[in-house]
């Protein structure tokens, strides 16, 4: 394949200032060969667009990509979980088509890298299809002690797959689901496994106040839910537990993702700030859907905690667009640096997976992962602010030098 050259009204490399009438060159291996503002008659002019680093969705569940609107009721959270379980059990297919639809939707939305919570081996394998690079977190669930060995074997089998960070495919990772669904012994042993294999690990943590009540007092709506599912055993979660215990177990991971982190204490925030290997994944529109207390994402950043952006699933979000998450934040936080928001949806997500040397910015030598966005007629000042607008639609997505979607 010959060198590809694309010119745009603006290029936002993120490792430097925006470039007016910029050009991105891509070599035959699908890597970025050059980013510059020189006139080049060989370049294909994409018109009134901006070329950005490919968007990174740090957390999603593609199995629900066929859900037309978020599931309800949204409160209490345990009733929403019941609706999720009912949806899963009521499916007439194995969910393969939903995963394919989710991958296609993600590509159309400008996503070039995503963290997928895979609930079975087949759904993880589907993510090898041409399109976004996928960190496939195999979900592990087992609150009973007799489930520990079975879940560990599932995790080991998943991690035996080759990692394909340099090409299209998947990067195997694991996800003990949440404190209310994973036995403490299983969690510790999965941490040990992820540390040995040097793979990312993600857990839903500090998501609701009901979760905190379960950890601290072993009471509340989660106890009722778990009894209903037939998995609750008195004493399975020691009274007085906190999210901090889970964070401490994650301290030596190569990369750990704290999904949601809606109700972290000050001590837990301090712990996260002291551990650069840990990232909080904030899902803005899902957070708003459930009506949680205001998320501390800005404070987390100010205190030195790494933060990335995810969409969660269509069970709690109208779509899988990271772009719309960023525009949502821009509309509600007009005083926040728009460049920072773009970083949260690109390089910060790549860093959360340990892939920031491979993607996340338009840097020479990195994968040619690009998102192309249509611009308004006038976009000369406050460039980043003008960029993050919902009416600026995604016009193209390139993954590793190949267009997975384009409208030009």
DSSP string over 125-165: HHTTSSSSEEEEEEEE-B-SGGGHHHHHHHHHHHHTSPP-T
| Burial classification of residue 3, based on how many CB atoms lie within 10 Å of its CB (0-12 exposed, 13-18 middle, 19 or more buried) | exposed
| Alpha carbons 362 and 14: distance in angstroms, whole number | 7
Contact (Cβ atoms closer than 8 angstroms) between residue 121 and residue 158: yes
pLDDT score for 17: 93
Q: 81, 135, 128: which is closest to 100 by C-alpha?
A: 128
Residues near 151 by beta carbon (within 8 Å), at least 6 away in sequence: 140, 141, 142, 186, 190
Mean of pLDDT values over 337-363: 97
For the cut 60, the answer to whether the pLDDT of residue 19 exceeds it is yes
For the packed helices 184-197 and 148-159, what is the interaxial angle rounded to 10 degrees?
20
Mean pLDDT score of the chain: 94
50, β-bridge pairs: 10, 373
| pLDDT value at 48 more than 70 | yes
| CATH 2.30.40.10 residue window(s) in the chain | 4-53+362-406
pLDDT over threshold 60, residue 153 = yes
Helix ranges (H only) for 62-95 are: 77-89
End-to-end Cα separation, the chain, in angstroms: 20
Alpha-carbon torsion 219, 221, 227, 229, what sign? negative
Given a cut of 60, is residue 83 above it in pLDDT?
yes
Instruction: Give bridge partners of residue 22 from the DSSP assignment.
Output: 8
**How far apart are alpha carbons 212 and 198 in whole angstroms?**
29
The predicted structure's pLDDT at residue 185: 98
CB 118 within 8 A of CB 60: no
Angle of the 209-217 helix axis to the 221-228 helix axis, nearest 10: 80
Q: Tell me where in the chain the CATH 3.20.20.140 domain(s) lie.
A: 55-352
User: Taking 90 as the threshold, does the pLDDT of residue 349 lie above it?
Assistant: yes
Q: Which CATH superfamily is domain 55-352 in?
A: Metal-dependent hydrolases (3.20.20.140)
Q: What are the two backbone dihedrals, phi and then psi, of residue 185, each rounded to the nearest 5 degrees? A: -65, -40
Total H helices, total E strands in the chain: 15, 16
- Give the pLDDT confidence of 241-285 residue by residue, as tens digits: 999 999 999 999 999 999 999 999 999 999 999 999 999 999 999
CATH number of the structural domain 4-53+362-406: 2.30.40.10
pLDDT band at 94 (very low <50, low <70, confident <90, very high): low
Pairing relationship of beta strands 370-374 and 49-53 according to DSSP bridges? antiparallel
Nearest by Cα to 136 from 114, 111, 116: 116
Q: What percent of the chain clears pLDDT 70, i.e. is strictly above it?
A: 96
Task: pLDDT band for 296, please (50, 70, 90 cuts).
Answer: very high
State the Cα–Cα distance between residues 23 and 20, nearest whole angstrom: 9
SS3 95: coil
- Give yes or no for a contact between 62 and 135, defined as CB atoms under 8 angstroms apart: no
The whole-number pLDDT of residue 131 equals 85
This prediction has a pTM of: 0.97
pLDDT in tens, 130-141: 689 999 999 999
Query: Is residue 167 pLDDT above 60, yes or no?
Result: no
Q: Which residues pair with 320 in a beta bridge?
A: none
CB atoms within 10 A of CB 48: 14
Phi (first) and psi of residue 43, to 5 degrees: -75, 140
Band (164; pLDDT cuts 50, 70, 90): low
Q: Average the pLDDT over each of 87-96, 207-216, 275-284, 383-392 and give the range with the smallest value.
A: 87-96
Q: d(Cα 142, Cα 178) in Å, to the nearest integer?
A: 10
Which residues are 396's β-sheet partners?
372, 406
The 10 Å Cβ neighbour count of residue 227 is 11
């Amino acid at each position: 394949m010959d060198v590809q050259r694309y010119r745009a009204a603006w290029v936002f490399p993120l490792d430097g200032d925006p470039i007016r009438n910029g050009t991105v060159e891509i070599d035959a291996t699908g890597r970025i060969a050059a980013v510059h503002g020189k006139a080049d008659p060989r370049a294909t002019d994409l018109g009134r667009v901006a070329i950005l680093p490919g968007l990174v969705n740090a957390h999603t569940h593609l199995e629900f990509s066929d859900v037309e609107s978020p599931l309800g009721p949204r409160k209490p959270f345990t009733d929403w979980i019941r609706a999720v379980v009912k949806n899963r059990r009521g499916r007439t297919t194995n969910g393969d088509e939903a995963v394919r639809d989710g991958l296609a939707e993600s590509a159309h939305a400008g996503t070039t890298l995503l963290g997928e919570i895979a609930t079975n081996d087949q759904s993880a394998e589907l993510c090898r299809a041409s399109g976004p690079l996928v960190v496939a977190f195999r979900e592990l669930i087992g609150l009973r002690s007799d489930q520990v060995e079975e879940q560990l074997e599932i995790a080991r089998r998943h991690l035996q797959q080759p990692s394909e960070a340099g090409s299209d495919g998947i990067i195997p990772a694991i996800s003990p689901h949440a404190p209310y669904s994973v036995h403490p012994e299983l969690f510790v042993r999965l941490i040990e496994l992820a540390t040995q294999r040097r793979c990312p690990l993600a857990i839903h943590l500090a998501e609701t106040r009901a979760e905190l009540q379960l950890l601290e007092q072993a009471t509340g709506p989660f106890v009722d839910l778990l009894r209903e599912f037939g998995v609750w055993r008195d004493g399975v979660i020691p009274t007085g537990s906190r999210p901090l215990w889970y964070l401490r177990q994650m301290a030596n991971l190569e990369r750990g993702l704290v999904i949601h982190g809606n109700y972290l204490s000050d001590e837990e925030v301090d712990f996260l700030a002291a551990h650069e290997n840990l990232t909080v994944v904030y899902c803005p529109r899902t957070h708003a859907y459930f009506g949680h207390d205001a998320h501390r994402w800005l404070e987390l950043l100010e205190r030195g905690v790494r933060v990335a952006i995810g969409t969660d699933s269509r069970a709690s979000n109208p779509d899988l667009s990271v772009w719309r998450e960023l525009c949502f934040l821009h509309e509600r936080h007009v005083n926040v640096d728009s460049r920072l928001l773009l970083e949260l949806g690109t390089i910060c997500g790549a860093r959360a997976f340990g892939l920031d040397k491979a993607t996340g910015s338009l840097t020479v030598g990195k994968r040619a992962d690009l998102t192309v966005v249509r611009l308004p007629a006038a976009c000369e000042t406050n460039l980043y602010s003008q960029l993050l607008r919902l009416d600026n639609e995604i016009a193209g997505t390139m993954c590793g030098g190949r267009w997975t979607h384009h409208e030009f």
